[in-house]
Structure 1
Amino acid sequence: MIREDALAALPVRTALPALERALDEHGSAVLCAPPGTGKTTLVPLALAERGARVVVAEPRRIAARAAARRMAWLLGEKVGGRVGFTVRGERVVGRDTAVEVVTTGVLLQRLQRDQELAGVDVVILDECHERHLDADTVAAFLLDVRETLRPGLRLVAASATTDAEGWARLLGDAPVVEAEGVAHPVEVVWAPPARPVRPPHGTRVDPALLSHVASVVRRALGERTGDVLCFLPGVGEIARVAGLLGDVDAEVLQVHGRAPAAVQDAVLSPGRGRRVVLATSVAESSLTVPGVRVVVDSGLAREPRTDHARGIGSLTTVRASQAAARQRAGRAGREAPGAVYRCWPEAEDGRLPRFPAPEIQVADLTAFALQAACWGDPDASGLALLDPPPGGAMAAARSVLSAIGAVDASGRVTGRGVRMSRLGVHPRLARALVDGAPEVGARRAAEVVALLSEEPPREYGDDLAAAWRTARRGGDAYGARWRTEAGRLARSAEAGGSAPGSPAGATGRDSSVSGARGARAERGAGPAEGHLSDDTVAGFVAALAFPERVARARGEAAYLMASGTGAELGEGSRLRSAPWLAVAVADRQAQAASARVRLAAVVDEDTARTAAAHLLSRGEEVHWEDGDVVARHVERLGAVELSVRPLKEPGPGLVRDALLEGLGREGLGLLAWSRDAGALRQRLGFLHRALGAPWPDVSDAALLERAGDWLEPELSRARRRADLARVDAGQSLRRLLPWATGEAVRLDELAPERIEVPSGSRIRVDYSAEQPVLAVKLQELFGLHETPRVAGVPVLVHLLSPAGRPAAVTADLASFWRDGYRAVRAELRGRYPRHPWPEDPTTATPTRGVKR
């Protein structure tokens, strides 16, 4: 039986009848319950009392353990009785377990092994508002199971703040059950910094903001009673604020996913004195921190971001959503009235995003794509998801899976891919374990993969091998978790064999690895497995996991990765002299030219070739470089050039393409443009503007696009830049004239080079402007009543003085003789008395000379 005193304090009990009715009638429900109402702990127990076996899926290990302990306490038992939990690497359940709390990752693995979830009656997806990728995937798989295998399986989507309507639609128009909480009032105190602070950039947070947060914590300790819970975006910010609070009269605790279990347990138990709990978003949901009456909210959170083009993922600091801010504030009012100090202006609150970005829209989807392929839906088009996966991210994920042999050419999972999916790590790391274990030993490969699956603390440094040795020595919480995970992975690797249902031979090593290993052995490179150094093993396994990140030095602490992305080491790194690196962790800030290496291992060229054999290519490369055609025979590892030698007789087609590349880069100025050629281009440009087709477009973009047409056969005969400089552009340009329609012969009629004026002079027409220009001395046009036209367009007449300077401009000569001539005559005839200035120019005799 549930403790009666605790039951009375959990308001969600009033919603239980409606929830049970919804599950009985519909089979699914959306439960919206404020923080502290008991939705995570009471609801599973109540459903289990009706005879159901319940699985509760939590987004984090710390939340899963805490929820199981709380439920066991409500029953007056220890964990492992009627309530148990399973997280990666740890399982505490018993024969009588009716409620099992698991992480969404564990449930995902269980579904892949047993799609029917035999023996499970109800699945509760807790904190579904956080939109973690595993949780969204689990929901989609469960809906598929309900539709095809287990129509009686009941589902509950539970959260304090969520898109209830969206989840209800996803669950088949499921009823929404709302629980009223005990509304302990939470006073909102707006506490923005006195001076502007820099917005977060990547993972960098302005130290001035962190100093302000620390000062707000001090203020809250002075103004309020009870413990203080302060939300910060990451471990680094928590450590910095903890340092600033070293002298406060309270116990300062740091809570995050890497915190030791003892610290986590201490936070979730009542303290003896006053406490300040510095936490990441792990404390937003599922966890009740007893004694908290005050929340200090920095307003920041961390979200994943992936550069799919470069294969680099990282965390970035963002503004917390309105939903997250409500969740955080609710922690202050769980047990009694409280207060939340928000470290941003009240005016900005309405501009915050409503909900956090769904992870499926911003994260690396390689693991998701493998899970979907194992489920039998490689493109995830048949999965019921609140948000569909972005096409570009899915394409990048499938490319990775294909490269590591997890899927075949059609995108269907291979036996090797099934085995990788069941290792419980990212597919890249699964590939490193599967292919690395036979080469370096299962235990050593597992230890390096465990290091890569949870990035070691920054104080371990950026040298993967050195970090491995530090973790081995132990002595900290990370070392303990690492040993547990390494043991789990080693057991999985040693089990080996084919995954259930996989074809024979499908789970062996990557052929590129075994083949390259044989070639390396022939060269005598590399000692036997048992004698490999830590540095060699770390580099080999890291290179297997991230083959496109093997990198060769190209300067002081600067490297080029096989993906084509630059990488740089930090100051003081002991890796700076290495000729080759296998980069395991890197992040690239927005607009940065290179990625910053966070964790890497030294490798040699043989190891790089072995791990990234699928990126190895050899061939002729002819392209435009440094202003001319360069022809080489190149061996490459992705973007890294391994060897280069000149190519004496490149193929004509390759040279032609290189010349076209050069024209595209440097423009048409590479050709010989005489005055006549330029004039012809201007005439054709005018006809295209005035008449359109069939007269060709001769703009730079159009000519470059059709360069392969109008520059033949000169282009095929050319071999270098100097040959292009000898091409008569005007002669080549005539190939674009509309010969097929017969219009080409009218070129001189429609756009003549010169126009004869009344004086008998043949004046060149300038077609360089939008309207053709005829620049002629005024006296040579006497007697001409109408403006000359070309292709039906009146020319713009520049009337020149006897000295050849513009005296007037007109496109209507008749109007000028009538209205403008008098002013020009009055101004110029005194200056040029030897030239005629008749009163009526329309009847005067045109002349090129002076008066006799």
Structure 2
Amino acid sequence: MPSPEALPIRHVLPELLTALGHHGSAVLTAPPGTGKTTVVPLALAETGLRVLVAEPRRLAVRAAARRMGVSYTIRGERHIGANPMVEVVTTGVLLQRLQRDQELPGVDAVVLDECHERHLDADTALAFLLDVRETLRPDLRLLATSATADARPWADLLKAPVVAATGTTHPVETVWAPPPRPVAPPHGLRVDPALLSHVASVVRRALAEQDGDVLCFLPGVGEIGRVAGMLAGDVEHLLQVHGQAPAHVQDAVLSPGQARRVVLATSVAESSLTVPGVRVVVDSGLAREPRTDHARGLGSLTTVRVSKASATQRAGRAGREAPGTVYRCWSAADHDRLADHARPEIALADLTSFALQAACWGSPDATGLALLDPPPPAAMSAATRTLEALGAVEQPARVTDRGRRMALAGVHPRLARALLDLGPDAAEVVALLSEQLPRDASDDLVEVWRTARRGGTGFAARWRQETRRLRRATSGRGSAPDDELAGSAVALAFPERVARKRGGGYLMASGTQAQLPEGSRLHTAEWLAIAIADRPTGSASARIRQAVVIDERTARQATGTTIEDEIIWRVPPGERRGDVSARTIERLGAIELSSTPLKNADVRAAILYGLRTEEILTWTKEAKALRDRLAFCHRAIGAPWPSMDDLMDLADQWLEPELSRARRRADLERVNVATALKRLIPWSERLETTAPERMEVPSGSNIRVDYSGDQPVLAAKLQELFGWLETPKIAGVPVLVHLLSPAGRPLAVTADLASFWREGYRHVRAEMRGRYPKHPWPEDPLTTKPTRRTK
């Protein structure tokens, strides 16, 4: 590793200090490895400034503080360093301090590191700091740093100059190493095992072809573990780096190794950390992003392809100290199709915590904050509704005292609610839910809790540390049994996820169906409080990850119930036919607890809804024929003849008094539709004149006219129409004549009888007279007397 004096950032320090002195703020762009994270804060401190450095990740906080020999603070952990002028914190800790005291006493300059990663806390902290500088602390110096050269958005926000450090860049050769056979694209959290096997083989190839340590990027902890298992025995020094990695592993990664190492890492190693000795990068091309289902209140991580910018950052790790090589596990053609940049977290994440921070700051809708990207309106609306349900804000979007206490708890507002309501006894459960649980954790949250108490893992150590912090932060009452306490805490934090058994799964208070994993020990529970759930892509049901068995009393206390009269047209689950449902119902969200019939209810609206959405009326042949005649009149003449297309919208006109008397489906099914339809035409005597039901033909027969098509249709035996030259019309529309054989089968269809007798008849006669010799087939049909009989 080069000494601090030799790092490229030294060349721009005078320019940077001048910019901060003149403008009070600046944007620093510098490639990874140039020293911007460790050299700049110390240089500022040498000028007498007390410097606060904010990093997006806890791992980066420890690494930077260690390199500089300064203090650091992360959630639940504080270390005092030798240099009192600089402190490194997470952006989350910075937000807490700003909420406690906006003036940031004891701080002269704030450095927001790795702004290009677009973490939500970092974007929020920058917006708050700009507000502080403008209103309370014009002397506060702000420095935003980025590992990418695209700094114009931050420069515009800060109204500050850009200072660029080019640094010493070493060439990095790109090796395209796509899998030999197609692999399935990532789906939710699932990554094709064939791709992971390929990544492991590329690591082995890199070890054989190149010198130096190998840094391999994978999307998550699970994939790191699986690839580590594949490489076991092939690699002597294998390290796994992620946000949950124990401190000793982090220290080992950040220290030069004596033997060759392979480091398997998530995106945490993209730009926040310098891993010494790395000459080779193997990139799986995958990362994890948050996804939020605002309609159902469910959040999850999903696997995505990296952006071009992220791929460039990852590749640059191979050229920090010397020329290097990056093996990309995809093709050059696939690379061209990658997005240029990853989407900012504000566009993807659950915004409940952000909305509470903004409300406490005095900008409930966040419109007054200087943000690079505005929060999506739907996400903000969902976050505000959640905060209202938790009692953190009240209309019109004003933060409550309870909400301010939630914001200062240092956990998600949902968990803060449980902590405030249950006191320090809930600290262990809240601490459990504030950390990412181990991948192999049981779906029974109480079992996960007991496992953490036994200790012996990195997760258990972090859990104990967070528990101590939360206990110090609250006060309250005595203890309760584990199951009861865990159930109450989860139900209070996630009231919409209280669920009752229904069929083979559970119905949550939010209305979403949820399923337990196969073989779960919780499947006999009548009620569950669901702590963690997600909805797999394309699935209608949520998947329960962790839950606690509760009773109905706990469910009622956490979620509350409502009693309401329900008068609807209801289709029972699994049925196709609905009926009127008039009940008084006690509900827990979407969960029905009890119901009693509602007598003498006004069911008219429900009846009309049923008529509009289902085929309920009994359409006899007579009723259909009448409907067709009326429809023809409307098409041919228009008003005042009513349209049959909007028949159910006119139900008030033609279905009285049956509509007023009807109480259920059966009453509608008994309605005489033909009689009712005539109410639409009080001048019904005109119907027979305008569109007669029957028409007399030359033989004297009265034959029914079919009005179901675009034209009226008259179907009659050919012998009954002898001598009929002029095609009849109804309401000015020519009748389509179907000439039938003696057996009633169509011989010809025409709207021009004269033309048929002149041109078509002789062909029909030649074919039919031998088949039907008892019927007349005269040479001249125009002079022959029409008949219904045989010869």
TM-score (norm 1): 0.86
Whether the 8 Å contact between 2:634 and 2:643 is mirrored in structure 1 is: yes
CA shift for structure 1 position 641: 2.7
The one-letter code matched in structure 1 to 2:786 is: T
Aligned to 1:68: 65
Of stretches 816-825 and 475-484 in structure 1, the one that deviates more from structure 2 is 816-825
Instruction: Give the Cα–Cα distance (whole angstroms) in 2 for the partners of residues 388 and 773 of structure 1.
Output: 64
CA contact 2:736–2:750 (8 Å) conserved in 1? yes
Tell me the residue number matched to 2:490. Answer: 542
The 3 A distance-change label for structure 1 pair 826 and 469 is same
Matched with 1:716 is 660
Aligned to 2:53: 56
Query: How far 1:621 moved relative to its partner?
Result: 6.0
Counterpart of 1:141 in structure 2 is 128
The residue type equivalent to 2:541 in the other structure is: S
- For 2:318, which of 320, 332, 355 is the aligned residue? 332
The verdict on how the C-alpha distance between 1:847 and 1:274 changes in structure 2, with shifts beyond 3 A counting, is same
Q: Which residue of 1 aligns with 2:182?
A: 196
SS in 2 for 1:286: coil
- How far is the alpha carbon of 1:819 from its aligned partner? 4.2
Match of 2:706 among 734, 748, 766: 766
Q: Judge conservation of contact 1:838–1:844 (CA < 8 Å) in 2.
A: no
Take 2:765 and 2:131, find their aligned partners in 1: how far apart are those partners? 93
- Whether contact under 8 Å (1:549, 1:561) holds in the other structure is yes
Distance 1:47 1:750 in 2: 96
Judged with a 3 Å threshold, the aligned counterparts in structure 2 of structure 1 residues 106 and 772 are, in CA distance, closer, same or farther, namely farther
Amino acid at match of 1:849: R
Aligned partners of 2:362 and 2:147: how far apart in 1?
33
Matches within 5 A, 1:294-305: 294-305=280-291
The CA distance in 2 between the partners of 1:592 and 1:360, in whole Å, is 25
**Cα offset for 1:260?**
0.6
Three-state SS of the structure 1 residue aligned to 2:542 is strand
How far did 1:661 drift?
Answer: 4.7
RMSD: 2.9
- Tell me which of 480, 497, 509 is aligned to 1:562: 509
User: Contact 1:789/1:795 (CA < 8 Å) preserved in 2?
Assistant: yes
How far does residue 491 in structure 1 lie from its aligned partner after superposition? Answer: 1.2
- 8 Å CA contact 1:129, 1:162 repeated in 2: no
Equivalent in 566, 571, 583 of residue 530 of structure 2: 583
Correspondence for 2:601: 652
SS at match of 1:459: coil
CA distance in 2, matches of 1:149, 1:484: 35
Q: Which deviations, in whole Å up to 9, do the C-alpha atoms of 1:373-409 show, x marking residues without a partner?
A: 1122222233333332222222221111111111113
Tell me the residue number matched to 1:425.
Answer: 411
Cα shift readout 1:555-599 (whole Å, capped 9, x = no counterpart) = 56x322222222222244332333222111112212324322221
Structure 1 residues 232 and 832, CA, compared in 2 at 3 Å: closer, same or farther? same
Which deviates more, 705-714 or 539-548? 705-714
Structure 1 residue 426 displacement after superposition: 0.6
Residue 5 of structure 2: aligned partner = 7
Please, which moves more after superposition, 162-171 or 395-404?
Answer: 162-171
Q: Deviations over 1:791-846 (max 9, x none)?
A: 444333323234322122234445444544443344334444555556666x5466
Task: Write out per-residue CA displacement over residues 220-247 of structure 1, whole angstroms, 9 at most, x where no aligned residue.
Answer: 1111111111111111111111111110
The 5 A counterparts of 1:77-226 are 78-79=69-70, 84-92=71-79, 97-151=84-138, 153-161=140-148, 164-172=151-159, 174-226=160-212
Paired residue type of 1:727: V
Partner of 2:625: 679
Counterpart pick for 1:635 among 575, 586, 596: 586
Alignment of 1:776-787 (within 5 A): 776-787=716-727
Q: Structure 2 CA distance, aligned partners of 1:190 and 1:66? A: 32
Cα distance in 2 for residues equivalent to 1:266 and 1:278: 13
Question: Which blocks of at least 5 consecutive residues in structure 1 are unaligned?
Answer: 73-77, 497-528
- Residue 731 in 1 paired to residue 675 in 2? yes
Q: SS of the counterpart of 2:440?
A: helix
> Residue 692 and residue 150 in structure 1: after superposition, are their counterparts in 2 closer, same or farther (change >3 A)?
farther
What is the SS of the residue equivalent to 1:326?
Answer: helix
- C-alpha distance in structure 1 between counterparts of 2:266 and 2:539, whole Å: 27
Aligned counterpart, 2:549: 602
Give the direction of change, closer, same or farther, for the CA distance of 1:663–1:64 in structure 2 (3 Å limit): same
Distance 1:786 1:637, change over 3 A: same
8 Å CA contact 2:289–2:303 kept in 1: the answer is yes
Mapping of residues 303-318 of structure 1, within 5 Å: 303-318=289-304
Contact 1:777 1:800 (C-alpha < 8 Å) held by counterparts: yes
The verdict on how the C-alpha distance between 1:152 and 1:637 changes in structure 2, with shifts beyond 3 A counting, is same
Deviation for aligned residue 1:705: 5.0
CA drift of 1:687 comes to 4.3
The answer to whether the 8 Å contact 2:222/2:439 transfers is no
Query: CA–CA distance in 2 between the matches of 1:64 and 1:846?
Result: 108
Deviation, 1:137, is 1.9
Where structure 2 has 5 or more consecutive residues not aligned to the other structure, the ranges are: none
| Contact 2:491 2:529 survives alignment (8 Å) | yes
1:488-499 correspondence runs (5 A): 488-494=469-475
- Deviation digits for residues 683-725 of structure 1 (CA, Å, limit 9, x no counterpart): 33344555556544434xx444555664343233122222121
Q: Quick one: structure 1 residues 756 and 576, their matched pair in 2 at CA, closer, same or farther if it must change by over 3 Å?
A: same
The residue number in structure 2 matching 1:468 is: 449
Could you say if the C-alpha distance between residues 23 and 827 of structure 1 is closer, same or farther in structure 2, counting changes exceeding 3 Å?
farther
Show CA shifts across 1:667-694 (max 9, x none): 22x2121212112222333445555565
Q: Aligned equivalents of 1:772 and 1:32: distance in 2?
A: 80
Equivalence for 1:410: 396
CA distance in 2, matches of 1:98, 1:363: 35
Q: Distance in 1 between matches of 2:133 and 2:73?
A: 23
Residues 405-438 of structure 1: CA deviation (Å, up to 9, x unaligned): 111132211111111111111110010001111x
The total of aligned residue pairs comes to 786
User: 1:809 — aligned with what?
Assistant: 749
What are the Cα deviations for residues 186-232 of structure 1, in whole angstroms up to 9, with x where unaligned?
11111121222222221121222111111111111111111111111
**1:103 Cα deviation (Å)?**
1.5
1:395 to 381, 384, 396: 381
Task: Determine what percentage of the aligned residue pairs are the same residue.
Answer: 68
Amino acid at match of 2:509: A
Task: Tell me the TM-score normalised to structure 2 length.
Answer: 0.92
2:431 corresponds to 1:485: no
**1:457-481 Cα shifts (integer Å, max 9, x gaps):** 1334222222222222222211121
Q: CA 1:765/1:381 → structure 2, altered by over 3 Å: closer, same or farther? A: farther
Structure 1 residues 498-513: aligned runs within 5 Å = none
Contact 2:500 2:507 in 1 (8 A): yes
Identify the range of structure 1 (820-829 vs 542-551) with the bigger mean alpha-carbon deviation: 820-829
**Mapping 1:237-252, distance limit 5 Å:** 237-252=223-238
Contact 2:563 2:584 in 1 (8 A): no
Q: From the superposition, tell whether residues 96 and 126 of structure 1 become closer, same or farther in structure 2 (CA, over 3 Å).
A: closer
Task: Note closer, same or farther for the CA distance 1:767–1:148 as it changes in structure 2 (3 Å cut).
Answer: farther
* 1:542–1:583 CA contact under 8 A, matched in 2: yes
Give the AA of the match of 1:676.
Answer: E
Mapped to 2, the partners of 1:163 and 1:839 lie a distance apart of 94
215-224 or 179-188, which moves further after superposition? 179-188
Is the 1:131–1:359 contact (alpha carbons within 8 Å) kept by the matching residues of 2?
yes
CA contact (8 A) 2:420 2:474 kept: yes
Maintained 8 Å contact 2:567/2:606: no
- Partner deviation per Cα, 1:299-355 (whole Å, 9 max, x = no partner): 111111122222121111111121111111111111111111111222211112222
Cα–Cα, structure 1 residues 674 and 138, in superposed 2: closer, same or farther, change >3 Å?
same
